[in-house]
Amino acid sequence: MRKKLLFLVLCALVVCVVTVSVVFADDADTAATESDGEVPTELYTLQVGDATMIVDPTNLNLSITKDGRTWYSGLRHTDSEGSVDDGLNTVNGNQITDGITVTYRNKSSNNVTTRGISSITDEPISRFTKRDDGFDARVRLSGNVGISFNVQVRFDGTTLKVTIPSDSINETSENIRLEQLSVYPYFDSSYMQEQDGQIFIPDGSGALIDLSRPSNARQNFSRRVYGEDFGLSAPTSRANEPERITMPVVATMYPQGGTVTIVTGGAEYSRVTARVGGLGTNPYNATNFSFIYREEYNHYYESTGTEGKSYQDFQEEINNFDAQLTYTLLPKDANIADVAKIYRDTLDIRQTVIQNVGMRLQFLMAENKSGMFGREKVQMSTPEFVESVAKDVAYYCNNLTVSLTGYQRGGLGGADPSVFPMATKSAYRTLTENLAKIDVTVKFTVDYVRVHDRASISDSNLLQNISEQFVTMADTRVGSDVKFRLIKPSYSQQLLHSDAVKLADFNAGIEATNLGALLFSGYKQEAFTRTQLMNQNAQAVRDAGVPMALSNPNDYMFGVIDSYVDTPIEYSAYLIETESVPFLQMVLAGSMPMYSEALNLDYTGTPLILKLIDSNVYPSFLLTEKDAIELYRTDSQGIFTSSFDVWKYSVRSTYEQVNAVLNSVVGQQIVRRDKLAENVYVNTYSNGVGVVVNYSNNPITYRGTSVEAMSAAAVR
């Protein structure tokens, strides 16, 4: 206790610098001092520019002081006399003050334990190496646990980077297996709610947790980055599915400063968690990532007829990846746009030239339904009709994209996972050629990842999970009971390559559903990791050589696509969240066009149009030539209204309202977002234009311009 109190006092009052002695170099450009197998008990102080980092070598707890503010990797609340009074026991308290929290499983008892490293072993650090840019440490959990690994910490004065190399992990016990690691899970945390500050989490377009107001939430926020691994877990598809986490970034923002935390290694094996003080026994506000090395799954006894014939098992093989977190210190009064810029600078984002506000019209060409003699095709639109509509719309929209779905033989229901075979190929070739003459982009929508269970495809091309079960998932569309099966990645990538070669001759592109969204592993006939699938899918899209759009992709696909479709403009609205924020759009605005989901499927009028303007997202509509009543008894019967004759005036009105504001910021980045009043926001763009969105019922004046209630304006 005396040592920990000394650590806290020195962290807050440090004014001196300990000189680091250089004994030998273990890098080409960085010197280090090795303690001969012994761990120093005195605090290690490192000065980098105007920043001071202090580390406790016995548990890796650290603090950083910069510009008059101190960031703590974990600091327990104390009363006026310096006594800890947060009510936590020793085990839970150590998770805050220890640098690493470990989750491990006992194979014999099947018990799972989560503890800070000093709760597991009295002296968890077996080696501590001082460096002039940070430190290296060896964590050794001795005794019955028998888990050890290296921790590499680098600090440049503003950014703290923590790495756990996969090849350093060692397990010596026959019964104990590593499941998860959390690195500095309470970095820049605060005590209890009702204080100034916000937590950002990447839910949907982005979400904020306001720490100045009490929360009605009953549970913390916790989601797997890039979604669950269907190679292990069974898919759970349902209507109103929570938004998938596509960006591995979180932030804490306080008036005196904050922190941006990004997973820069191993995001595909990470989970994001956000907690607020007062939920359960937790008194702290914090957000962090944990790394998944093994997980549970349902192990089936047989490959078929398995209902009720399974047991809970867990991975024996460890997930092989280098875990890395990068913490960037934010100055006081940092803005959510500052967080977006820091994250954007870590990404590979393909730059697409945007000259005009765009719109996307997706046409459902055909469906099918059960008939007297099997499945019957239901024709909903013809290529000739699509051409006539596109030409009409192109008169007022100078950046029109036409997307086609259900164009395969037999229509959308049961469609093969490929653009070809295509119904009436000559008619579609004529369509693409004629629309190209008026600069209308045509893309064919195709799902290279999922296939209808009644589609004609060999079982050898379908994915099986770790228990040799075909991976199936339910449709989330209203009124549909269709089942989908997952395709092997090698086959889907083969189909993409074949389609791209043929479509190059069509002067058309591809709009791929799920290719950049569903991420899973393979274990049986085709073994691959989530890491390998990430890289393979990105390379397949990069090599396609035709215009490519992806539906709500994960961030590792941003560098290979020319447009983003089905862009989320809201969050999942968990109780812990207090406000939606267009963070995704702050990252991508100016780099590529973003198109909404089909507005006519859930049209709310002016509030929806304002949300598009606020998010810099261009409108999309799902349209047909015939009335939607024709879709009754098909898998698309949840589409209640789609006829262009019904929607043509709304299509034009929506575009013109969005274009009237966003045409002032085409191709520009969002550099700042401010809240002017309750339900009134302004996004400032790189050309100096402020887009004011007034969701309130009262007019507001900004820079001398009046913005009426429930309206938006571009203010120069």
pLDDT in the model for residue 300? 79
Instruction: Evaluate whether 145 touches 175 at the Cβ level (below 8 Å).
Output: no
DSSP letter at 631? G
Answer yes or no: is pLDDT of 19 > 80: no
Answer yes or no: is pLDDT of 277 > 80: yes
Q: Which ranges of 222-317 would DSSP assign to H, the alpha helix?
A: none
Instruction: Evaluate whether 253 touches 178 at the Cβ level (below 8 Å).
Output: no
pLDDT in the model for residue 7? 47
Q: Which residue has the tokens 């929506």?
A: 654
Confidence of residue 17 (pLDDT cuts 50, 70, 90): very low
DSSP letter at 475? -
Which neighbouring-strand residues pair with 327? Answer: 160, 261
Determine the Cα–Cα distance for residues 510 and 478; give it in Å rounded to an integer.
26
pLDDT in the model for residue 13? 41
Determine the Cα–Cα distance for residues 710 and 689; give it in Å rounded to an integer.
20
Write phi, then psi, for 436 (nearest 5 degrees): -65, -30
Which neighbouring-strand residues pair with 288? Answer: 273
Which neighbouring-strand residues pair with 32? Answer: 24, 131
Determine the Cα–Cα distance for residues 434 and 439; give it in Å rounded to an integer.
9
The token pair that represents 322 in the structure block: 């280098």
Q: Which residue has the tokens 């914090």?
A: 286
Peptide bond preceding 421: is omega within 30 degrees of 0, i.e. cis?
Answer: yes
Sign of CA dihedral 63, 66, 71, 76: positive
- CA Rg, the chain, in Å? 27
Question: Given the DSSP bridges, would you call strands 323-330 and 257-265 parallel, antiparallel or unpaired?
Answer: antiparallel
The token pair that represents 289 in the structure block: 């990532």
Determine the Cα–Cα distance for residues 638 and 481; give it in Å rounded to an integer.
11
Answer yes or no: is pLDDT of 278 > 60: yes
Q: How many residues does the chain have?
A: 716
- Weakest-pLDDT range from 34-43, 429-438, 642-651: 34-43
- 661-702 confidence digits (pLDDT tens): 999 999 999 999 999 999 999 999 999 999 999 999 999 999
- Packing angle, helices 530-544 and 489-504, rounded to 10: 10
- 611-668 confidence digits (pLDDT tens): 999 999 999 999 999 999 999 999 999 999 999 999 999 999 999 999 999 999 999 9
The token pair that represents 26 in the structure block: 């273990």
SS3 of residue 390 by DSSP: helix
Determine the Cα–Cα distance for residues 508 and 516; give it in Å rounded to an integer.
20
- 617-630 confidence digits (pLDDT tens): 999 999 999 999 99
Instruction: Evaluate whether 115 touches 93 at the Cβ level (below 8 Å).
Output: no
**Residue type for 704, please?**
G
Write phi, then psi, for 604 (nearest 5 degrees): -120, 10
Which neighbouring-strand residues pair with 242? Answer: none
- 381-401 confidence digits (pLDDT tens): 999 999 999 999 999 999 999
Answer yes or no: is pLDDT of 281 > 70: yes
DSSP letter at 197? -
Average pLDDT, rounded, for the chain: 91
Instruction: Evaluate whether 279 touches 272 at the Cβ level (below 8 Å).
Output: no
Q: Is 413 exposed, middle or buried (0-12, 13-18, 19+ CB in 10 A)?
A: buried
- How many CA atoms, within 13 angstroms, populate the side-chain half-sphere of residue 16? 6
Instruction: List, as one string, the DSSP characters of 632-672.
Output: TTBTTTT----BHHHHHHHHHHHHHHHHHHHTTSTT--EEE
- Weakest-pLDDT range from 196-200, 210-214, 528-532: 210-214
Domains of the chain: 2-229+243-297+310-344 (2.70.98), 668-716 (2.60.40)
- 238-262 confidence digits (pLDDT tens): 555 689 999 999 999 999 999 999 9
Determine which helix (DSSP H) or strand (DSSP E) holds 42, and give its type and residue range.
Answer: none
Q: What is Dmax (Cα atoms) for the chain?
A: 87
Model pTM score: 0.92
The percentage of residues in the chain with a pLDDT greater than 90, rounded to a whole number, is 76
The percentage of residues in the chain with a pLDDT greater than 70, rounded to a whole number, is 93
Instruction: Evaluate whether 88 touches 76 at the Cβ level (below 8 Å).
Output: yes
Determine the Cα–Cα distance for residues 605 and 629; give it in Å rounded to an integer.
23
First to last CA, the chain: 59
**Residue type for 258, please?**
G
- Weakest-pLDDT range from 71-75, 283-287, 457-461: 457-461
User: What is the average pLDDT across 74-80?
Assistant: 89
Confidence of residue 29 (pLDDT cuts 50, 70, 90): very low
Interacting residues of 131 by C-beta distance below 8 A, sequence separation 6+: 20, 30, 31, 32, 33, 154
**Residue type for 300, please?**
Y
The token pair that represents 624 in the structure block: 């047909």
- Residue (of 410, 483, 494) closest to 451 by Cα position: 483
Confidence of residue 339 (pLDDT cuts 50, 70, 90): very high
pLDDT in the model for residue 304? 52
Which neighbouring-strand residues pair with 277? Answer: none
**Residue type for 323, please?**
A
Confidence of residue 11 (pLDDT cuts 50, 70, 90): very low
- 524-581 confidence digits (pLDDT tens): 778 999 999 999 999 999 999 999 999 999 999 999 999 999 999 999 999 999 999 9
Which neighbouring-strand residues pair with 87? Answer: none
Instruction: Evaluate whether 230 touches 518 at the Cβ level (below 8 Å).
Output: yes
Instruction: Evaluate whether 44 touches 55 at the Cβ level (below 8 Å).
Output: yes
pLDDT in the model for residue 30? 42
Determine the Cα–Cα distance for residues 712 and 613; give it in Å rounded to an integer.
8
Determine the Cα–Cα distance for residues 512 and 549; give it in Å rounded to an integer.
6
pLDDT in the model for residue 298? 82
Confidence of residue 483 (pLDDT cuts 50, 70, 90): confident
Determine the Cα–Cα distance for residues 100 and 88; give it in Å rounded to an integer.
18
Determine which helix (DSSP H) or strand (DSSP E) holds 606, and give its type and residue range.
Answer: helix 606-615
Determine the Cα–Cα distance for residues 184 and 187; give it in Å rounded to an integer.
5
pLDDT in the model for residue 414? 76
